[in-house]
Structure 1
């Protein structure tokens, strides 16, 4: 057997260059590049290997380990999990910074390869700089923390262990049913140690992502159940997008007269204007989808994990006769809500179910279809109202405005604006190119966008809401731009998320990968401020206020110039406080060749809210406040309507 002597790091890079993915769309390289933040734990190992011979891997310089791993995740998500990036960080704090991103990728089932550096396998210099020591075990390092947030974890303590570790890593990264973050921990001494690797380890490997076919028995049972129902509804999740099953979903809905709704991950698999597309469902859903869900006698989940936001903490489906069918590549997710599980690829499952239902000559009644279209039209009128709503002293009434009390004038004065968030989003939606990618993640924006955003081109709505990770937005925009460089990409981000993590804006400038940041500044963590007040308490630690004379965080509202911060990096920036300024900024930003930031000041409490879905959150069971006791009662009533499992 022919062998090649090289270091562990060199062998790893050579191996990554020879991994390919085969789908029904063709064959392509799987690992496209590697994000790096170098330190003493990896610069002389992986760093030296990448300097000498990166092969086809593009090396990117990250600014923040969490940010670069978010960018890698977004790249894979926008690539429909068919291409990935790797990320390497130094030992200790560098590696630990990737933990949040690992959890984000795993929660969303997006493949990301993390290569955290580790302390010396030999232990000779222990405790090395940035090493955490445990008195009860010398074998534990910071990198053991990745076990809780990854789909696969390994530590390469000897050069020859790399082979088994990387083959297992590829197995998980290419598994549609159980993918997520993979962490292969690399002690810094082992990275530089040499070994004679068999040439066969570096052969071109083609990992076939095959569409899992449903079992005919499961299809027959599902078709029989659908055939008994009068008011079925579909929940379309991320699996529909990753399997490119939008065409099958549209046809299925049209042939059988079954409406479909969207999760955050499923949105833009089908254009929003489609007659049977009712849009977002659940806690961040709209009135049409939620009203229909409440009365549905059958829920068909396709490629969805049935999170609490999608199901209204299992309270959304109130018909006592409601039953569930799932089409999912994952047996774990297919079994949720005590459903009839059909374990399969979304496209293959829809094709098979279509044939079975055609044999049974199933179609929903015209009365139900009329109800669907009426609810869709009713919601469109409400969406139009939200898009046009403006601030007036007497007539201002977005759904949560009542919590403002007498603060509106203060907000307007400090922010220098009376723009409402819903109107701003509507203008952005109308003004940017139809094929532009919009990226979001946390705060009040995901709810507003799932309800209000109209997608006319597929795969343009890029929302991270499995982990709802603040700080994903700008790094995610960079990853999406790397995946689809010919499209305009817009990160819609709140001021709270921008403060938390925007470092990869600099990477976008360095790489000349233009992203557009639309920052909606409402003076705080507005979403959680709403949550506080809706459940009977006051505002604490969620608005951006100076500490007051009473020692509490209730002083004057802070005025922050976010455009100035981005301008300092070299981005083109705009300051917006009117609709006219917003439209002009969007138009001018489209002409720019480098990254832009539009700093839009909006009034707090001017987002969408409610529409019939309940969310189960912890409420204090002991309180001397009447408003908190009222929140307790609402929780009790919500639990009465919720399924227990």
Structure 2
């Protein structure tokens, strides 16, 4: 009898904790391995912040200076670490200020969970103070969203939120939680979500499609690979490199895919797209087989769809069925995880070198070097170029830095000339093109990869959109290196006005403040460079510093970024000047 009693006591299930909804939210985050949150408190989310105060030893909260900054910081953290970024805000304007970051994360497939407070359940629909329908507003720019009105819903919904955010093609999820659900109590138990009905995050690979793809690849005379961020998100970098090296196929990248394969790899032929390299753009319209790996045929990559790669058979490696045949018809769709697809395809393809085909890329490289690159990197003009600055960062960092860019000319120059030897090194706003992205994203990137050098490269326009986040860098002494390339213009818009609007510079001339004094006001070491003789030594000093550092570089005011494919033109119509 005593033995039976002892056995019963050992198998008794532990009783659920009776806790508030606000405390349950914190326990859910901890159960998902979250240790860092970006956010901004307010009335409707205050119960959760009260609980966060009690868990400061386990959960770090970073008070950004604007809710948009919280989302971009969470994005930077997620993109570098590979984990889910978390942002939090109150109701009304706090919640609506998250929308730009949600949209950015949605189009760039960044895993993020945003938690917003909401007015109490009984006030929903009454136009209460700081009430807004954030679920309705955010539906087009989230992978999934949900409004919690009862405390008992919290564990299941947050578990589902994290699963959806990080599974399959990642994306942002928003969970809106009414204030009564935060105060009310529940019997707390947490179980991680591993599946959702009617949701298949990773399609099953079709063996027949693999065989058909291998047959096309083995017969190809002029094959070309274009890879995107799907390779990085799928952790398929090694598989892609092995595939490239066995087949000898030249491989180009979208800006979101940059750094998956080292820049120095001999089969890496550069960037495609509007400001990509001459060779891979032009030769896209000459290849006989186009392998698209984890990319979505964005318009900035394809130019005119009427003329894009019409001569080629297209093999599309893609995890999201919605992307197949959306823009470019796939002759062979390879649905599934890119890592697994490449692994299964590798033994089916033959060893090759395609030497004659590679020579065509080299000839195009020589043309681009003589026409564009030498003017960007070794200019004869007196003023500094943006390309020189990126090259100086490469030298100082040994090609090991994480480079976080904003949006504009500096972004395209950085993507063209930055050298990377490690994946997850190029962090940028690709699909949405969000000015103001870089400074907060660099904060998140540094906290997501504290052992790596993080350099934010920003234009003078985008910098001022989120300049207040210098306060976060100062408060937490986050050793981000900030380089503002100042040409006193909204550079990319000015370039288009010069080329296509007869140099009518409407609202693109910037009257800028003293950026150095502003940085010094935040107690951040700051310098300005305007002469070539000082550039490398100052960047060396910046990279060597173990503290936050701001550097303003005065660059040529009316330099343009080339090559350039005019909007709506064919990739064959790429301009070199």
User: Does the TM-score normalized on the shorter chain lie above 0.5?
Assistant: yes
In structure 2, the CA distance between the partners of 1:268 and 1:165, relative to structure 1 (3 Å rule), is same
Q: Is the 8 A contact 2:119 2:179 kept in 1?
A: yes
In structure 1, the partner of 2:279 is 288
Q: 1:156 aligns with which of 148, 151, 159?
A: 148
The answer to whether structure 1 residue 468 and structure 2 residue 433 are counterparts is yes
Residue 227 of structure 1 aligns to a residue in which SS?
helix
Q: Deviations over 1:185-211 (max 9, x none)?
A: 0122321122233x3xx2567899998
Deviation at 1:315, TM superposition (A): 5.7
Q: Deviations over 1:47-106 (max 9, x none)?
A: 1111123573222212110011100011111123xx123211111111111100011111
In structure 2, the partner of 1:588 is 541
Instruction: State the alpha-carbon separation in 1 of the partners of residues 110 and 438 from structure 2.
Output: 16
- Matched ranges for 1:438-453 at <5 A: 438-453=403-418
After TM superposition, which residue ranges in structure 1, 4 or more long, deviate above 6 angstroms? Answer: 204-213, 639-642
Instruction: State the alpha-carbon separation in 2 of the partners of residues 123 and 213 from structure 1.
Output: 45
Aligned-residue CA RMSD in angstroms? 2.7
Deviation at 1:505, TM superposition (A): 2.3
Instruction: State the alpha-carbon separation in 1 of the partners of residues 354 and 547 from structure 2.
Output: 53
Q: Is the 8 A contact 1:526 1:542 kept in 2?
A: no
Q: 2:357 aligns with which of 365, 368, 382?
A: 368
Deviation at 1:150, TM superposition (A): 0.6
Q: 1:8 aligns with which of 6, 12, 21?
A: 21
Q: Is the 8 A contact 2:230 2:338 kept in 1?
A: yes
Instruction: State the alpha-carbon separation in 2 of the partners of residues 373 and 176 from structure 1.
Output: 37
Q: Is the 8 A contact 1:315 1:614 kept in 2?
A: no
Q: Is the 8 A contact 1:296 1:317 kept in 2?
A: no
In structure 2, the CA distance between the partners of 1:522 and 1:593, relative to structure 1 (3 Å rule), is same
Deviation at 1:295, TM superposition (A): 1.0
- Matched ranges for 1:317-466 at <5 A: 317-318=308-309, 320-336=310-326, 337-339=328-330, 340-358=332-350, 363=352, 365-376=354-365, 378-380=367-369, 382-391=372-381, 418-466=383-431
Q: How many residues align?
A: 555
Instruction: State the alpha-carbon separation in 2 of the partners of residues 207 and 50 from structure 1.
Output: 29
Deviation at 1:225, TM superposition (A): 2.2
Instruction: State the alpha-carbon separation in 1 of the partners of residues 107 and 131 from structure 2.
Output: 28
Instruction: State the alpha-carbon separation in 1 of the partners of residues 211 and 539 from structure 2.
Output: 51
Q: Is the 8 A contact 1:436 1:489 kept in 2?
A: yes
In structure 2, the partner of 1:549 is none
Deviation at 1:429, TM superposition (A): 2.6
The 10-residue stretch of structure 1 (47-56 or 154-163) with the greater mean CA deviation from structure 2? 47-56
Deviation at 1:377, TM superposition (A): 5.1
In structure 2, the partner of 1:615 is 567
The answer to whether structure 1 residue 34 and structure 2 residue 37 are counterparts is yes
Instruction: State the alpha-carbon separation in 2 of the partners of residues 363 and 481 from structure 1.
Output: 41
Q: Is the 8 A contact 1:334 1:342 kept in 2?
A: no
Deviation at 1:371, TM superposition (A): 2.2
Instruction: State the alpha-carbon separation in 2 of the partners of residues 568 and 145 from structure 1.
Output: 37
In structure 1, the partner of 2:507 is 542
In structure 2, the partner of 1:275 is 266
Q: Deviations over 1:594-634 (max 9, x none)?
A: 211101111223242235x3422xxxxxxxxxxxxxxxxxx
Deviation at 1:490, TM superposition (A): 0.3
- Matched ranges for 1:175-194 at <5 A: 175-177=167-169, 179-194=170-185
In structure 2, the CA distance between the partners of 1:579 and 1:302, relative to structure 1 (3 Å rule), is same
Q: 2:522 aligns with which of 566, 569, 576?
A: 569
Q: Deviations over 1:535-578 (max 9, x none)?
A: 23543543235xxxxxxxxxxxx353111111111111001101
In structure 2, the partner of 1:217 is 208
Residue 252 of structure 2 aligns to a residue in which SS?
strand
- Matched ranges for 1:23-102 at <5 A: 29=33, 31-43=34-46, 45-53=47-55, 56-80=58-82, 83-102=83-102
Residue 116 of structure 1 aligns to a residue in which SS?
strand
The 10-residue stretch of structure 1 (220-229 or 480-489) with the greater mean CA deviation from structure 2? 220-229
Gaps of 5+ in 1: 20-28, 133-140, 393-417, 546-557, 617-634
Instruction: State the alpha-carbon separation in 2 of the partners of residues 206 and 176 from structure 1.
Output: 12
Residue 459 of structure 1 aligns to a residue in which SS?
coil
Q: Is the 8 A contact 2:303 2:571 kept in 1?
A: no
The answer to whether structure 1 residue 301 and structure 2 residue 307 are counterparts is no
Deviation at 1:376, TM superposition (A): 4.1
Instruction: State the alpha-carbon separation in 2 of the partners of residues 112 and 605 from structure 1.
Output: 38
Q: Is the 8 A contact 2:45 2:90 kept in 1?
A: yes
Instruction: State the alpha-carbon separation in 1 of the partners of residues 462 and 146 from structure 2.
Output: 32
In structure 1, the partner of 2:5 is none
- Matched ranges for 1:481-630 at <5 A: 481-544=446-509, 558-611=511-564, 613-616=565-568
In structure 2, the CA distance between the partners of 1:639 and 1:511, relative to structure 1 (3 Å rule), is closer
